A and B are shown apart, each in its own frame.
Chain A
């Protein structure tokens, strides 16, 4: 049994839901993200939010998987501040939907001034509505700098770091994220971010507290079964089942339950 706490099912097939259910997935959370192209208006995001709060929960339910979501305009589309503010204005009307856990995945992409302004406005929205936050950290060479800028921005708003998950950590960011008392997520990708082997290395070096694993499977090269493959890697090394369950079920359950809306249905 496992939870995939970060996956983009709008980009995946119904057969992926079936395979995930067969592999033991009982619940997922789906943050709003970049669709691979820039949307031309705020209305495009409104339709996307309807997909996340209505269509996907029903599609997941066919396979006994509980679907939850996080809303935002992602940092890749935040360079246009005018559009970002129009989208931000639409988000409150979706916050009472039963599967909305909070604001995400917000953060930075290229660490630009406009991205940072829009990040601050998302954090303020979360603070106003007392919502949890799921953070996207930048890719590759931009990750170290961006992760630090994001954590500083969240601290400025007085948000409890125990209600914020900093995602896509790797060996050079995980220690600092945990030291600053945030939760941390490791994304299991074939080419970028973490492989299952490196994720288990990180557990062995940093422990299993306040850490989770996710597939972040989307329209790119990614794997919706990455979490059970990482479970398999842990078992293959001889780690105890209690540790496997902690990182792939108990930890996401503990963090996400703070929202008051998360359920595995069991």
Chain B
């Protein structure tokens, strides 16, 4: 089942929605950096926070010109170990595994 839309139609239909999402992301990083500056912490591009590191790594992937970005971002953020862990430390998930594990 291929996509029935032409490229121009995809842009027409989805650009404004995703323009807003890019601005949300930009504002989130600005917000983080303002808070980090007030806290005396590193800015988002040098943060030790697993989530910020995962996000900035994903942003680089978005502009590499290769296909299947959604799949590759999800794989980038995934735990790639194969054995069960000893005990569940919590119920939830934070959204990204530490990048240094790969």
Contact = CB atoms under 8 A, between A and B. Distances in A.
Contacts of A144: 74-75, 78-80
Contacts of B39: none
Contacts of A171: 68, 70-71, 74
Given A110-B88, A144-B80, A204 B75 contact: no
Interface string A147-164: 011000000000000000
A138 B74 contact: no
A79 interface: yes
A109 B88 CA distance: 8
Given A143-B78, A145-B79, A171-B70, A113 B95 contact: no
Chain B interface main SS type: loop
A111 B4 contact: no
Contact of B78 (A79, A141, A198): A141
Interface residues of A, number: 36
A179 interface: no
A111 B5 CA distance: 40
A203 B3 CA distance: 9
A144 B80 CA distance: 7
B97 A141 contact: yes
Contacts of A197: 14
Contacts of A109: 88, 91
A140 B95 contact: yes
Interface string B64-83: 00001011001101111110
A141 B88 CA distance: 14
A12 B93 CA distance: 24
A141 B78 CA distance: 4
A110 B78 contact: no
Contact of B85 (A111, A148, A172, A239): A111
B92 A148 contact: no
B57 to A, nearest CB: 13
A114 B95 CA distance: 22
Nearest to A116: B84
B87 A114 contact: yes
B94 to A, nearest CB: 7
Contacts of B75: 144, 172
Nearest to A143: B78
Given A170-B74, A171-B74, A237-B3, A139 B79 contact: no
A204 B3 contact: yes
Interface of A: 34, 76, 79, 109-116, 138-145, 148-149, 170-172, 197-198, 201, 203-204, 207-208, 236-239, 243
Given A140-B96, A204-B1, 11 more contacts: A109-B88, A109-B91, A110-B90, A112-B88, A113-B87, A140-B95, A142-B79, A142-B93, A143-B74, A238-B4, A239-B4
